[in-house]
Structure 1
Amino acid sequence: MDFAFDARTEELRAKLLAFMDEHVYPAEAVAEEQRALLASPWDTPAVVEELKAEARRQGLWNLFLPDTEYGAGLTNLQYAPLAEITGRSPHLAPTATNCAAPDTGNMEVLAQFGDERQKKQWLEPLLAGEIRSAFAMTEPEVASSDATNITTLIERDGDEYVITGRKWYISGAMNPDCAIFIVMGKTDPDGADIRRQQSMVLVPRDTPGVTVKRAMRVFGYEDHSHGGHAEVVFDQARVPVASLVGEEGGGFAIAQARLGPGRIHHCMRLIGMAERAIELMCRRAASRTAFGKALAQQGVVQNWIADARVTVEQLRLLVLKTAWLMDTVGNRGAHTEIQAIKIATPRAVVDIIDRAIQLYGAGGVSQDFPLAELYASARTLMIADGPDEVHQRSLARRELKKYL
């Protein structure tokens, strides 16, 4: 395994680091100020569109997509250090570079499974950053950690599918630029194979019968930067049969293909979140005095910072190994490592950010510093894309299988 950055990665890292310093970090406060003046809190601040235009001008656009026809053509190993950099400002930088979830996963689905008409109608404007999208799988009435539990029905009626169901925490759905939902439901609810009961269909937001009911908060945050997390009701919503993604019964497999890259992308960005928390800790420790000496001289603070550095270095190596395996043996061959990073990274980063909050005292939980919002994002990733316990269960089974 060789994790050294190649020439292209080094070039993009340098450009991206400069972009963050010159444009993204200064825009964080500006975006919040502009959002407060918007007619709707879900509208996009002007500075975000300016960032997108600058990122595209500099070639820092669609870096996540390995398909050279549609994206930057980077490997997972090349993209990892770039995603880490954007993770330092997770509510602004990924959007600015068109590398934000859920659009990234939806673009991957359309690129891999969509037909030519679907790519023309939806993938191309997503790649151009002209529209946003949402992925509707999670439901409030069932344990969505087991995707086979979903109850939304997708019923064939002549040349149309009729969708009926209730979803929630549908990321991006509050954004007025969200034009399309990829909806997962059951086309064969009584099928013998529980993993072939589900399908995915494309549902335009303005389809009659689609109602975005409310924004779901995350630790009190409405997460405007990601377009919110909405409760959405599908009440006999009708779409043409041509809206099917892939084949009937292929929804579960498509979901797994979508979530693999999504999980590692989240972990890449989490490393960046941890790095920013460490930086903030060090700045605070060097600038504050308590009980007669600088916080930087307090043994407990030194331990927090040292432990955080060791943890981040360990996590980064595991994430890079996972990226390398995905590139060399595929997602299936990297299954164990994908689950390992999904378990280890969020919980460790939550702990690092928690220590940083403790060091900042009241400021740590305030809106004046990014730590509270970083904490909410990291803690949520212990649930999103499969809760830790599901990954632990699967990983343990794979380990035990060698001995049973």
Structure 2
Amino acid sequence: MSERKIGIIMNGVSGRMGTNQHLIRSILAIRQQGGVKLENGVTIMPDPILVGRSEAKLKALAAAHGIARWSTNLDECLADANNEIYFDSQTTVLRAESMRKAIAAGKHLYCEKPTASTLEEALELARLANEAGLKNGVVQDKLFLPGVLKLKRLVDSGFFGRILSVRIEFGYWVFEGDWQAGQRPSWNYRQEDGGGIIVDMFAHWRYVLDNLFGNVKSVSCLGTTHIPKRWDEKGQPYTCTADDAAYGTFELEGGIIAQVNSSWAVRVDREDLLNIQVDGTEGSAAAGLRECKVQHRVNTPKPVWNPDVANPFRFREQWETVPDNQIFDNGFKVQWELFLKHVVGDAPFRWDLMEGAKGTQLAELGLLSWKERRWIDVPDLEGCR
């Protein structure tokens, strides 16, 4: 058995998502478990170098987690042949420029989504990476959530019969920042900094809908800024220029209708921050981040609309829980392991930059639909490969 050390440039990991999900719960967790083992006996051992703009943050983060390498000089990191993978979790507006540098340096690419600020840029990155023969991937973490994996299991088994509709409710109340600190960075609410829930979440909904239920064929979207004023990390007030809620309807292949509400200005009255309900001719399911419940047609109650009498049904008690039947690891870590196997062992990995571009495309079309107040068809990007 041999060890294959692989250097990974981790750019932008001092942010919340980069630190918690990608560094601590993915790369460091992989190191702590002894690496990723290939079938040929080789063990892949990631060797991260933390990159960013703040020397103080990087130094503190590296020291806190026993990481030997960090730098504020991306060009030097790209010039080091030992660094074979470039990972980007910066804000969206900074991503394309750094990705181009990484492509020019011959690095394999793995990045957060959206992959770029515009579809044109996203397609350019995919084209440049493919022309250079570089392996590339995009984080599509929700596909690896336990609740979504259980939904996929149900779809693959034919449990639903013919799927009729999908309803997704996502969001929570993000505090404004005046009397209680907000849970999200202030740039999320500034359009000029790449913020907005449509840009953020439509990239997720694209890969969830495409991979579970059918390709998105058309979109109708209404966005809004419910909270016009917030306070930033320094306690200073600012005007919100980006949407904080989006109400979308999507038509999928096979005539499936998906209704998706995304909001950072909603108080949660459901079992999880994310709820996906799927209704089909043979049965229905409702999934959260981890759990999934089902109701088959033979167990479906027969309510009759009558507001003059008390409701005799306890609807939530009439659903059955889908068992785990497996051990679920952190979804970000699972996808990192798959990408490392793709780079080192040439294992298949289909969530590439072109798949990421589809998310950017849907966000652009959602914004256009909102602006023009109309349905918009979603063109096929397969010919752009």
What TM-score do you get using the length of structure 1 for normalisation? 0.25
**Structure that is richer in helix per residue:** 1
Q: Which has the higher contact order (CA 8 A, sep 6+)?
A: 2
What TM-score do you get using the length of structure 2 for normalisation? 0.26
